[in-house]
Structure 1
């Protein structure tokens, strides 16, 4: 049962950075006993709005009231004092301390001779039990429990301050289905105690399962506040990306399957390509203008096969032919020299170089192919950067910004631009749409189709079977580090086709 008056009212919030208006008169209301989702594409202003509410950013205009009282936050301590608690995507806990020490960090109970650890752990147990976590031993090391349980401990710590508002920023991004349900059970307990929860997630299924109310932002502006159950998905997506339902139906829609030509040779053909412990000997061929999807469950060998094709891992067995000629692709430099590019699934740690600019991140692979003594001329560099930033709609459109300050979707577009700048014949994309908003996802999916139409061969690796089926001409299905099937993707193929293929393979084994 929700209260009639909001606990938080943010009105006309405006935040400006040099040359950029990140928020432009945005409104947000949070009600006690509700889970409220902040929705929008990457770059819409969600993170900036959260940082305004948590005291990380000072607002240039607008007002914030908490429990009916106007507040001005000069830092995160002020926000916590007002009852605003936050749990970020990357759990900010101390794995070298106990569970109880993490729960009570900064709020330890003191006795005449310093911290009274017995009482502190007892108080931690009380907070854990109130959230249904009575099985956790507060004296156990935090490192002894899973990431999912650490996420719940972080929520318990947030509630120690007697929070009126709990902000959960992408809390489910690294959780499996069962762990998500555990988190949702805790969220419902917290919600039912009268706390307002602000929830940010890219997963629409989760949004519709757990939230009561939605606020939609687009390009730093307030679009609408709606009740979740009254808002069809197509309408929500349309508001987020500014397109009608008819326009949405065309995004990423494959118009026609590639037709093979008589006598044509593949760009890449491998026979028995393998690496012990990573992928069993595998045959594969990819043609110009073809999208080949690699599908399978986690640990199936999708990424491992992609890395072998690029030479990121050195093959131990097999033959490799490029345009009909035998070649050894044993390292990424050789692959790039031969116009084979690979975009990693680990965008943050293996993809972007955070302290370099967007321009530098786009040009770095091309420069590597030319060597340090042949620098790219400024005119050529400017033309390359301008071309791909426009074609991929990278925002903000400033190549001299540090890439770490861009949203996840725009970072992914910059990575795609990096590899396109090398003019590859074969582009291997590993989870290119993971963890990005629906608008950026649709743009990247469409870019894949456009590249194939222009004659590029594309390997598309994804855990989302729906997009593999929608984008691919042919699908390679893997299981337990082994290729189990090739599927010619026609109108009879669906997600269920792939699932059934994997299941049948298990029965046959």
Structure 2
């Protein structure tokens, strides 16, 4: 039985976050991309990071994923101070990111894409049977419906491709998953499939950071909504308790909420 959103939000109030970022700043010449941004994400929680274009969402995600280094600020992961200076640092901690371009090889099948760069080998020979079995088990555990895992990714729907990219991110047993616009350019049915998959990540106890412009999707799947505006925090809402107007007001600057709503 799944836990109600308000119950999950209450539980995370008293637990230590898996990820905690404090005072992150980043400047590109005259542009202040981040101006002291904070964010917490707990295990078994989906936090949506929202804001208008130029709000600093992508920059903050790049800091967490190791694509760039913040000028100032601190990061704690699993309760310990950490330095993330490159993507490998984030991966070693257990942070994995699924970017909007998915980085899938369309000419390869699902099995090959899931294991790309981490193929199973024995005496230099690919363990095709072992990889196929692992692929089937992983997709089944996530309730991802793909009839034939030997199907080229080019033949899959947009929702199925997104699901494969998310499944691939789980092969390293991460503690936290960052999803960059996972429902962008998807139809209604495919969007529902991906949002259901995000919910299953939460059920597995993962900390999930979701970046999205679609507030309907955000409200459907998130436990909390963190709003950035002009590189700093403009609101932190418990999704179940916040109205659409509250969130939009924080995004546009009509209403600034320093703490949780």
Asked if these proteins are the same fold (TM beyond 0.5), I'd say yes
Q: Which residue of 2 aligns with 1:37?
A: 48
Which of 97, 119, 122 is the aligned partner of 2:130?
119
Unaligned 5+ segments in structure 2 are 1-7, 257-261
Q: Is the 8 A contact 2:26 2:71 kept in 1?
A: yes
Unaligned 5+ segments in structure 1 are 246-509
Compared CA separation, residues 218 and 244, structure 1 to 2 (3 A): closer
Q: Per the alignment, in what secondary structure is the counterpart of residue 47 of structure 2?
A: strand
Is 1:62 the counterpart of 2:67? The answer is no
Structure 2 CA distance, aligned partners of 1:11 and 1:149? 36
Structure 1 CA distance, aligned partners of 2:128 and 2:89? 27
TM-superposition CA deviations, 1:40-83 (whole Å, max 9, x none): 11100000000000000111111111111222122112111211
Q: Which residue of 2 aligns with 1:87?
A: 98
Q: Is the 8 A contact 2:18 2:77 kept in 1?
A: yes
TM-superposition CA deviations, 1:70-108 (whole Å, max 9, x none): 221221121112111111222210011110111111221
Is 1:171 the counterpart of 2:182? The answer is yes
1:244 shift after superposition? 5.3
Provide the TM-score with structure 2 as the length reference. Answer: 0.89
Is 1:204 the counterpart of 2:215? The answer is yes
Structure 1 CA distance, aligned partners of 2:194 and 2:152? 21
For this pair of structures, how many residues does the alignment match? Answer: 245
Which structure has the larger Rg?
A: 1
Which of 98, 110, 113 is the aligned partner of 1:102?
113
Structure 2 CA distance, aligned partners of 1:78 and 1:125? 29
Q: Per the alignment, in what secondary structure is the counterpart of residue 113 of structure 2?
A: helix
- The farther-off stretch of 209-218 and 129-138 is 129-138
Which of 166, 170, 191 is the aligned partner of 1:159?
170
CA RMSD in angstroms, aligned pairs only: 1.6
Structure 1 CA distance, aligned partners of 2:173 and 2:154? 26
Q: How does 1:355-374 map to 2 (within 5 A)?
A: none
Structure 1 CA distance, aligned partners of 2:231 and 2:103? 27
Q: Which residue of 2 aligns with 1:53?
A: 64
Which structure has more relative contact order (CA 8 Å, sep 6+)? It is 2
Q: Is the 8 A contact 2:158 2:190 kept in 1?
A: no
Is 1:11 the counterpart of 2:19? The answer is no
Q: Per the alignment, in what secondary structure is the counterpart of residue 14 of structure 1?
A: strand
